[in-house]
Amino acid sequence: MSQTRRRPAPNKAAPKPVRTVAEARAEFERKGLSIRGWAKAHGLPAGLVYDILRGNPRRRCLRGDSHRAAVLLGIKDGELPEAA
């Protein structure tokens, strides 16, 4: 009995590389952006973004604004719902 190998679907996008919190912080420094300004531009509470970048264990980034912030920061692989 011969085994056939499955090929990955050609139209599937490769997963976006996830970066660490330290890399996300370094990106702000490299670009000269303030965390507060970035948060405001994305409609997020600045305290939330600071908590996520600080590694606050209460911010698990599972849903809501914390999930959205983590995906936008690139520290979590996820999807953002389309605005209705």
Number of domains in the chain: 1
Domain that holds residue 64: 21-73
Assign 59 a pLDDT band (cuts: 50, 70, 90): confident
- Please indicate, yes or no, if residue 8 is contained in any of the structural domains: no
Q: Say if residue 19 is exposed, middle or buried (CB neighbours under 10 Å; 0-12, 13-18, 19+).
A: middle
**pLDDT tens sequence across 23-41:** 999 999 999 999 999 999 9
pTM: 0.75
- Please indicate, yes or no, if residue 83 is contained in any of the structural domains: no
- Please indicate, yes or no, if residue 53 is contained in any of the structural domains: yes
Assign 52 a pLDDT band (cuts: 50, 70, 90): very high
Res 7: pLDDT = 60
- Please indicate, yes or no, if residue 16 is contained in any of the structural domains: no
Res 64: pLDDT = 93
- Dmax (CA) for the chain in angstroms is 61
